[in-house]
């Protein structure tokens, strides 16, 4: 039977074939197993922690031997094995003992014993029998939530979804899946390969998974429903649709993780969807407001950013969404909640906090006497921000006179003054309202150009290569900006030292020429 196609990459690691489910061990796994067996034979009374330490030491030694190799898959295997063994050792230390019965591991699952009492009796996903809590021991995977009998925990055939989503190359399937016929699957279930037929018994009738586009038997597809990421991204359709058990477990794990970049996957959707366009605007405003909050002691005391506790990724960027975010957007709850939070944030900055309100702006290009004294902010309506001087103006005023910005001229004069003076001008200590991504980028650009004009091209290139946006926001601030200025001053001192050395060289060369001429 053919394996999963590339358009269902979210389940690529949870293979539905027996030969893929029972993955063959890598050479590193076999080598580590031999080391543990050898250590166990030499020291019969050793604990599991001792075995793990011996295996880690062996992997580290082999990794040191291959340090000179580049892009070696075996080297990566050793590194992954060290991480896996270290995590297992940490969990053993947290449990306080080496009781191997406390957890059973199989195909990435971590099965823990559960309580015998409860409201309902679940089903075992291995033997499909009922788990009678009172008389039967049962386990639940800590990562994906699968439930099995204690005796069935070692017979599970489905790779844990928690392992699949934790891999670095994991990608959520965002392409529309076409339904495949039974002929393409050899008339067998895509996971357990049980025979399927439309005219057979109820247990043999195929069930379609909307996430993968494959057909499953009733044991592997229980009729669970979930929102399909591809339908949300392309059609804004968040209606729950039937998915198989493996897809349901995977989607449940990543439901609140920001894995969907709408600006890359569906840019036209942002352009034409009114509510989504408004959400994008609110998220950009949150990024600007965060720059005020991180420099305000009142906001720190109030912990005002906790209003976005359910959407922490909204203050790290404006493009990434989770499945839960898009589902709430389709129902209208997301926009309503963000509007309320935006009102609270704006009230704090403009009305309640003197520190934040003091970092507002006056439109320096305004000809209207009534609006000239109006305090505006980067997140206000009908305003524009100069990308060079970072000042905020009325949008209409900026469109008329943006080519003659007095602040840009003033900034250039201050930077020229900085090159000639040992004192840091006060204008470099930017107000808190400008300590955001835009001000940081502009100051870096100005300093970088000055360094390049001074001959320090390598350092200027390094400074101009700024890291990610989120790192800019976290790193920006007056102390760091002052540090950049100090770097500029130090480079100026080095430049003066080079000039003195060149002058001494010219003097020495002149003396040598006079001596040579006198001899001749």
Quote the pLDDT of residue 242. Answer: 94
Q: Is the pLDDT of residue 327 over 90?
A: yes
Is residue 399 domain-resident?
A: yes
Quote the pLDDT of residue 72. Answer: 80
Domain boundary among 43, 70, 98: 98
DSSP 120-174: S--B-TTT--B--TTTS-EEEETTT--EEETTTGGG--SPPHHHHHTSTT-----
Quote the pLDDT of residue 473. Answer: 36
Determine which of 3-12, 118-127, 295-304 has the lowest per-residue pLDDT on average: 3-12
Phi/psi at 107 (5° precision): 50, 40
Quote the pLDDT of residue 318. Answer: 84
Q: Is the pLDDT of residue 211 over 60?
A: yes
Tokens of 28: 């590193």
Q: Is the pLDDT of residue 488 over 60?
A: no
Residues 192 and 251 in one domain: yes
Quote the pLDDT of residue 440. Answer: 45
Q: Is the pLDDT of residue 475 over 50?
A: no
Higher pLDDT, 398 or 145: 145
**Top-ranked range on mean pLDDT: pick from 22-36, 88-102, 275-289, 415-429:** 275-289
Quote the pLDDT of residue 425. Answer: 42
Residues 251 and 277 in one domain: no
Residues 272 and 354 in one domain: yes
pLDDT tier at 471, thresholds 50, 70, 90: very low
Calpha distance 228→243 (Å, rounded): 9
Is residue 320 domain-resident?
A: yes
Tokens of 56: 């880690």
Q: Is the pLDDT of residue 445 over 80?
A: no
Domain boundary among 50, 66, 98: 98
Residues 479 and 413 in one domain: yes
Quote the pLDDT of residue 246. Answer: 92
* Tally of structural domains, the chain: 5
Q: Rounded mean pLDDT of the chain?
A: 76
Quote the pLDDT of residue 436. Answer: 37
Residues 378 and 444 in one domain: no
Residues 347 and 276 in one domain: yes
pLDDT tier at 404, thresholds 50, 70, 90: low
Tallying the residues shown for the chain, one arrives at: 520
Higher pLDDT, 268 or 200: 268
Residues 393 and 412 in one domain: no
Residues 399 and 413 in one domain: no
Calpha distance 270→278 (Å, rounded): 9
Section 212-237 average pLDDT:
91
Section 386-396 average pLDDT:
79
Determine which of 56-70, 295-309, 443-457 has the lowest per-residue pLDDT on average: 443-457
* 73-95 vs 48-65: helix crossing angle, rounded to 10: 160
Is residue 216 domain-resident?
A: yes
Q: Is the pLDDT of residue 32 over 70?
A: yes
Quote the pLDDT of residue 91. Answer: 72
Is residue 30 domain-resident?
A: yes
pLDDT tier at 90, thresholds 50, 70, 90: confident
Quote the pLDDT of residue 449. Answer: 58
Q: Which is nearest to 267 in space by CA: 275, 258, 277? A: 277
Tokens of 361: 């702006």
Calpha distance 170→9 (Å, rounded): 8
Calpha distance 146→130 (Å, rounded): 14
Chain segment 446-469, per-residue pLDDT in tens? 555 555 554 544 444 444 444 433
Quote the pLDDT of residue 370. Answer: 75
Q: Is the pLDDT of residue 429 over 50?
A: no
Is residue 125 domain-resident?
A: no
Residues 470 and 438 in one domain: yes
Quote the pLDDT of residue 345. Answer: 92
Quote the pLDDT of residue 7. Answer: 41
Q: Is the pLDDT of residue 482 over 90?
A: no
Chain segment 130-182, per-residue pLDDT in tens? 888 877 888 999 888 899 998 898 888 888 988 888 887 888 888 888 777 88
Residues 306 and 384 in one domain: no
Q: Which is nearest to 275 in space by CA: 343, 235, 346, 331? A: 331
Determine which of 26-35, 233-242, 272-281 has the lowest per-residue pLDDT on average: 26-35
Domain boundary among 214, 237, 255: 255
Quote the pLDDT of residue 496. Answer: 67
Cα→Cα distances 179→59, 70, 211, 215, 371, Å: 45, 42, 10, 8, 61
Residues 245 and 269 in one domain: no
Is residue 123 domain-resident?
A: no
Calpha distance 287→472 (Å, rounded): 12
Q: Is the pLDDT of residue 328 over 60?
A: yes
Chain segment 260-303, per-residue pLDDT in tens? 988 888 888 888 888 999 999 999 999 888 888 888 888 888 88
Quote the pLDDT of residue 255. Answer: 92
Q: Which residues constitute the domain of residue 379? A: 374-403
Is residue 413 domain-resident?
A: yes
Q: Is the pLDDT of residue 20 over 80?
A: no
Residues 442 and 380 in one domain: no
Higher pLDDT, 337 or 409: 337
Is residue 93 domain-resident?
A: yes
């Amino acid at each position: 039977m053919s394996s999963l196609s590339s358009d269902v990459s979210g389940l690529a690691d949870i293979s539905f074939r027996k030969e893929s489910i029972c993955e063959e061990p890598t050479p590193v796994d076999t080598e580590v197993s031999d080391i543990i067996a050898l250590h166990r034979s030499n020291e019969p009374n050793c604990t599991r922690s001792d075995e793990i330490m011996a295996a880690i030491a062996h992997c580290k030694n082999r990794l040191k031997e291959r340090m000179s190799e580049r892009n070696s898959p075996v080297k990566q295997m050793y590194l992954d094995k060290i991480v896996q063994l270290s995590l297992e050792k940490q969990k053993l230390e947290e449990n306080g003992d080496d009781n191997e019965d406390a957890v059973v591991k199989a195909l990435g699952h971590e099965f823990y014993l559960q309580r015998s009492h409860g409201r309902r009796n679940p089903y075992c996903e291995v033997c499909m029998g009922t788990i009678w809590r009172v008389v039967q021991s049962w386990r639940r995977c800590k990562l994906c939530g699968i439930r099995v009998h204690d005796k069935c925990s070692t017979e599970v055939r489905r790779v844990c979804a928690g392992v699949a989503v934790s891999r670095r190359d994991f990608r959520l399937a965002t392409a529309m899946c076409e339904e495949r016929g039974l002929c393409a699957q050899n008339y067998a279930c895509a996971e357990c390969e049980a025979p399927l037929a439309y005219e057979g018994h109820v247990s043999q009738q195929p069930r379609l998974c909307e996430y993968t586009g494959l057909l499953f038997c009733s044991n592997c597809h229980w009729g669970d429903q979930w929102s399909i990421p591809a339908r949300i991204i392309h059609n804004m359709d968040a209606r729950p649709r039937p998915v198989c058990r493996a897809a349901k477990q995977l989607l449940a794990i990543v439901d609140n993780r920001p894995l969907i970049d709408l600006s890359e996957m569906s840019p036209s959707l942002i352009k034409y969807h009114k509510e989504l366009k408004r959400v994008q605007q609110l998220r950009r405003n949150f990024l600007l407001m965060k720059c005020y909050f991180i420099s305000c002691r009142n906001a720190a005391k109030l912990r005002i950013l906790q209003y976005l506790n359910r959407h922490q990724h909204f203050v790290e960027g404006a493009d990434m969404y989770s499945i839960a975010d898009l589902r709430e957007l389709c129902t209208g709850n997301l926009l309503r909640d963000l509007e309320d939070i935006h009102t609270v944030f704006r009230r704090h900055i403009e009305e309640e906090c003197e520190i934040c309100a003091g970092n507002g702006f006056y439109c320096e290009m305004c000809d209207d006497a009534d609006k000239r004294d109006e305090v505006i902010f980067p997140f206000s309506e009908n305003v524009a921000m100069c990308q060079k001087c970072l000042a905020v103006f009325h949008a209409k005023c900026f469109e008329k006179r943006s080519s003659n910005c007095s602040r840009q001229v003033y900034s250039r004069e201050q930077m020229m003054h900085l090159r000639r003076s040992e004192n840091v001008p006060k204008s470099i200590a930017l107000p808190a309202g400008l300590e955001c991504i835009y001000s940081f980028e502009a100051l870096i650009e100005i300093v970088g150009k000055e360094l390049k004009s001074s001959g320090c091209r390598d350092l200027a290139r390094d400074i101009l290569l700024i890291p990610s946006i989120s790192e800019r926001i976290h790193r920006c601030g007056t102390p760091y900006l002052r540090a950049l200025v100090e770097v500029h001053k130090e480079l100026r001192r080095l430049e003066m030292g080079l000039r003195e050395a060149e002058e001494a060289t010219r003097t020495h060369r002149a003396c040598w020429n006079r001596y040579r001429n006198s001899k001749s």
